[in-house]
Amino acid sequence: MDAGIGTGRNMEFYPRGAEVVGVDISTAMLARARRRLGLSPAATIELKEMDVARLDFPTGSFDAAVATFLFCVLADEVQLPALRELRRVVRAGGTVRLLDYVRPRRPLRRAIAGLWEPWVAWAFGASFDRETEKYIPQSGLELVSAELVVDELVKLLTARVPQRAG
């Protein structure tokens, strides 16, 4: 599942032959994603209008979930419910990967990000101050790794859905 598929910019990176469901709350974003369907090597891509904090899928429906620049646009009060929903719909042992903007730690980069921030908030509704990583344990996911992948500005969180008892 691609949670917050937006305009479909991830489509060309889906694995060949994969079956993907992309969800987004925005009809307009889904319309733009629909135009990119032919760029993907995936076997099937189904697009659905849906709120990531209230997913209409049975428990354990997906092998994995990705969310690219989604959690940096979700308000703090939505972070935990959205993570819990991803944990619920991904099968036990499955992976959840989140790629998001974060606030740089080094002073110069932090200052530059501060200059960009009003534009990023206006253009994308994103914030560098989301603390998604701290909600991972509360959501029931297990943090596998947290790594900066684009300088100090973009972080990839990889989490796993624990094996269910019984």
Flag whether pLDDT at 4 surpasses 80: yes
Parallel/antiparallel/unpaired status of strands 142-150 and 90-101: unpaired
Average pLDDT, rounded, for the chain: 90
pLDDT digits (tens, 9 = 90+) for 33-50: 999 999 999 999 999 999
pLDDT digits (tens, 9 = 90+) for 107-144: 777 677 776 776 666 666 666 677 899 999 999 999 99
Q: Which backbone phi and psi does 64 adopt, to 5 degrees?
A: -160, 165
**CA dist., res. 76 & res. 119, Å (int):** 20
pTM confidence score: 0.88
Flag whether pLDDT at 58 surpasses 80: yes
Domains of the chain: 2-160 (3.40.50.150)
Helix axes 132-139, 76-89, angle to 10 degrees: 50
